[in-house]
Structure 1
């Protein structure tokens, strides 16, 4: 069964010169928590979720729609229960960032991903907030995979070719087709990988892409950190210490560090020694003092 999606540009070009946090700075520290050696062979944070369209078949709101999908995955795999924000909430989020006015196509201009994430950091999406975000080195496959494993998703901006629309409508994997023209910018969050493919969500469906497609067309990637994903001790479910990233965010923005400082594990109180053993020890010490 073929689909009938017609692409609507929704992502504006990135601005590389703008200040931002880079995830690579927090994967190379001296502490064990910041030196994961290799990503797992496969990760899956999209199975078992019913992803809505969020109006992206009619409006270029792929960025906010992707945020809605990220909320679903983060809550399912971070909290154990999927939370799904409404389409009206996603469209209102899009309007607040871009100035989109429903019914006025001239205002349907898309979003810059960094602007979108900065807005999300200050405003909730259906009650779900992010407390920090950082850019992923999209040219480094190991970092991309680590980012998915450690943070649930990498939100990407893609220079979408016509071939991708055709392949999606035909239920095919996104792969490079030489000579395919670029339609515009599109946001796709990637929630998994394995067997040489990445798994993302777009237009209410899980979509796979090859490494060659990622290398050629994916232009930027970001991770977000939310309260849905953090444990009370300030670490992600996989144990990565995020406090330093929060400190860097505080220095960049002037806001307080939003991530709690991990507390040291309390030293257990030694169990009382056996009474007989105490008597033997005391008696031995007494004999020593008496020269016996």
Structure 2
């Protein structure tokens, strides 16, 4: 039951030094629909059914999907993979209080996370969390959007399709009435986005996305750059890395 699942995203932290996607490439009209999930045969909860490691689980679900699509990999990350990243970016295991998405992204960019193709390092940009086209372009161009959601309690009774409840954003529909949650968006169509959480696919309506997403990032994986014709040719890895140098823990 969804009631037993954990969340784990702490409040958004804004670092003005992180560039916005539109600062580094020209935005365009997104395709009508994109879905990167069919290449992945198995998603798992990655410990998020027992611990508040959703920020780490979302990172590994992203890396898993990118490798499946770029290299045909059947790799399935382990719970321990996600918990190791969680421990590196939070007070876990002494406390299990979640992590800040930006801390996870900085660690992922500076140190990387282990995959069968080697350490996956990234560059990243911010997205306007309420701009549907920016979320779609991140999915279309980079394979995902790494997002944070101010989850309402109403999601606990909505099954696998999340929408703004009939009562609006009060009571069980109030943002953060359940808590903060990190997810990766891997697909969209004309009405919904598809996210991975707790090892399963969940759809969210556009109204839900614009109401409850409170932070969003485009993640450019080094592995993804090898996929010809997907990432926009005018976005540069070196330029993004230079943007991020001052804020990465290792000074990379």
**Which entry has the higher C-alpha Rg, 1 or 2?**
1
Which deviations, in whole Å up to 9, do the C-alpha atoms of 1:192-237 show, x marking residues without a partner?
Answer: 0003111110011000000000010001111212222112xxx764
TM-score (norm 1): 0.75
Partner of 2:17: 19
Work out the CA distance in 2 between the residues paired with 1:25 and 1:229: 20
Unaligned runs of 5+ in 1: 29-34, 259-292
> Aligned residue pairs: how many?
237
Unaligned runs of 5+ in 2: none
Question: In the alignment, which of 57, 60, 64 is matched to residue 65 of structure 1?
Answer: 57
Partner of 1:124: 112
Tell me how far 1:150 sits from its aligned partner: 0.1
Partner of 2:185: 190
Alignment of 1:13-52 (within 5 A): 13-28=11-26, 37-49=28-40, 50-52=42-44
TM-score (norm 2): 0.86
SS at match of 1:199: strand
Tell me how far 1:245 sits from its aligned partner: 5.4
Work out the CA distance in 2 between the residues paired with 1:17 and 1:118: 11
Q: 1:87 to 1:242 in 2, by over 3 A?
A: farther
Matched-pair contact (CA < 8 Å) for 2:142–2:231: no
Partner of 2:150: 159
Asked if residue 225 in structure 1 is aligned to residue 211 in structure 2, the reply is no
Tell me how far 1:144 sits from its aligned partner: 1.1
Alignment of 1:255-266 (within 5 A): none
Work out the CA distance in 2 between the residues paired with 1:87 and 1:7: 15
Partner of 1:145: 136
Tell me how far 1:44 sits from its aligned partner: 0.3
Alignment of 1:31-110 (within 5 A): 37-49=28-40, 50-101=42-93, 104=94, 107-110=95-98
CA RMSD of aligned residues (A): 2.1
Partner of 2:162: 174
